[in-house]
Homo-oligomer: A and B are copies of this chain.
Amino acid sequence: MDVADPLRHFRARFNLPEDLIYLDGNSLGPLPSDTPQIIANAVSRQWGHSLIKSWNDHNWIGAPQRIGNKIGALIGAGLDEVVVADSTSINLYKLILAAARLNANGTEILTEAGNFPTDIYIADGAARTLGLNLRLAESNALSEAITEQTALVVLTHVNYRSGYRHDIAALTRLAASKKVPIIWDLSHSVGAVPLNLRQDGAELAVGCGYKHLNGGPGAPAFLYVSGALQATIASPIAGWLGHAAPFDFTDEYRPAPGIAKFLAGTPPILSLLALEAGVDLMLEVDRPALYAKSAALFDLFAALVSAQCPALNLASPQDPARRSGHIAFAHESAYAIVQALIARGVIGDFRTPDIARFGITPLYTSFEDVWHSVQILGEIMTTGVWRNAEFSKRRMVT
């Protein structure tokens, strides 16, 4: 399978340690080989030598829109529909406040129980600010929960635990029939599963840069507002870089045309340029081949675990259209099992209460990696080595 893999040469484009199998790209993507030099240049030549002139000479000022357009190409957005800014949490807050009054009959913000926590917390805080209620619907009751009284729906496209992937087109159609906008969080989708926001009718989205985009720890996030909606809504956080002419330094706020009005403060340039390197690499990839390999890695992983680790229950969907770029298994001792795996050089992660989660990212994960990982997992399960006390010790970040 590896010999026939059209993406196999991309593994050499990452600096991956020799002694481990990294199945945690869905939490923090690894370091692209080009990035150290790009950052060293940004530090020493741009900041160190060109100093303040770099805002013009190295076009730092244009980076949020330039990188935004590159991400736009990955998610099926048009030009000037995506901008890089702030964190996913902040961007979500901005879009909730911006869009919460589009449905004049809306009284509540709807989200999904078990959504990524920050999405729920942000929606909750924003609802308080707006005087709206927050409603959490169970996943199987989500469609019915969208009513004419829903002000806004906040959904994560791919669930961070199970990897369940919502149908953006179908839910968008359903919500639109009741005049309800949806904000999609694409953090676990972008770079992992096909995205066609325009084609699917999506109007609003946010997402992070540090998972499948390999943009570095805490890489800046992005936001998407469809061109059609841009004129209608405004950012509640009216920062200077979202001004039509920031360097006029006027007391009056005049929003920039287009997506730039959702910029707020000065962006962290070093982290932004690291993100760009990850996005540029992703743009080189044939995306149908990427998604096909992702599906094949998933199938292999699921089949091997089913055969060799019967105590682990697949917690991800079987349906390829509802799966994504990571695979999850449930076990009551998932935490200790993941620690035992890490001790053997296979990096996955644990998600409370009982999920062992593995990113199977086609750019650098080989079929052999999956085979070896499940062999080791099988040994851990068979020997029961995960019962050793050392593997139950909780770390700060799990």
Q: Which A residues lie at the B interface, using CB under 8 A? A: 15, 17, 22, 24, 27-28, 30-31, 35-36, 39-40, 43-44, 46-49, 51-56, 60-62, 86-90, 93, 97, 113-118, 120-122, 124-126, 128-129, 136, 208, 210, 216-221, 235-241, 243, 246-251, 253, 264-272, 274, 342, 347, 349, 351-352, 395-398
Most buried by B among A30, A88, A89: A89
Cβ–Cβ < 8 Å partners of A86 in chain B:
86-87, 90, 265
- A249 near B117 with CB under 8 A, answer yes
Can you list 14 pairs linking A and B with CB atoms under 8 Å apart? A22-B51, A28-B47, A39-B270, A52-B347, A87-B239, A117-B246, A117-B249, A120-B253, A121-B243, A122-B237, A125-B253, A247-B398, A249-B351, A270-B271
* A336 to B395 alpha-carbon distance, docked (Å): 57
- B15 near A61 with CB under 8 A, answer no
CB A270 to nearest CB in B, in angstroms, measures: 5
Closest CB pairs A-B (n = 6): A87-B265, A268-B271, A89-B265, A118-B240, A125-B238, A89-B239
Contact A236 B129, CB 8 Å, known A268-B220, A270-B39: yes
Contact among B36, B54, B396, B398 with A48 in the assembled complex (CB-CB below 8 Å):
B36
CB A104 to nearest CB in B, in angstroms, measures: 18
Contact among B17, B124, B398 with A49 in the assembled complex (CB-CB below 8 Å):
B17
- B87 near A128 with CB under 8 A, answer no
CB A382 to nearest CB in B, in angstroms, measures: 26
- A237 near B117 with CB under 8 A, answer no
Q: Which residue of B lies closest to A112 (CB)?
A: B251
Report the copy number of this chain in the oligomer: 2
* A62 to B395 alpha-carbon distance, docked (Å): 13
* A219 to B87 alpha-carbon distance, docked (Å): 14
Q: Which residue of B lies closest to A111 (CB)?
A: B251
Contact A55 B15, CB 8 Å, known A216-B269, A238-B124: no
- B349 near A118 with CB under 8 A, answer no
Contact A90 B265, CB 8 Å, known A27-B52, A114-B251, A122-B237: yes
Cβ–Cβ < 8 Å partners of A35 in chain B:
43
Contact among B31, B240, B272, B396 with A121 in the assembled complex (CB-CB below 8 Å):
B240
- A121 near B239 with CB under 8 A, answer yes
- B51 near A347 with CB under 8 A, answer yes
Contact A266 B56, CB 8 Å, known A48-B30, A271-B271, A397-B247: no
Q: Which residue of B lies closest to A246 (CB)?
A: B117
- B118 near A239 with CB under 8 A, answer yes
Cβ–Cβ < 8 Å partners of A125 in chain B:
235-238, 253
- A117 near B243 with CB under 8 A, answer yes
Q: Which residue of B lies closest to A114 (CB)?
A: B251
Cβ–Cβ < 8 Å partners of A271 in chain B:
268-271
Cβ–Cβ < 8 Å partners of A89 in chain B:
237, 239-240, 264-265
Q: Which residue of B lies closest to A208 (CB)?
A: B266
* A24 to B54 alpha-carbon distance, docked (Å): 13
Cβ–Cβ < 8 Å partners of A115 in chain B:
251
CB A46 to nearest CB in B, in angstroms, measures: 8
Cβ–Cβ < 8 Å partners of A61 in chain B:
396-397
CB A100 to nearest CB in B, in angstroms, measures: 11
Cβ–Cβ < 8 Å partners of A136 in chain B:
251
CB A372 to nearest CB in B, in angstroms, measures: 18
Having A39-B43, A218-B268, A218-B269, one finds 4 other A-B pairs with CB under 8 Å, namely: A53-B347, A126-B236, A270-B270, A271-B271
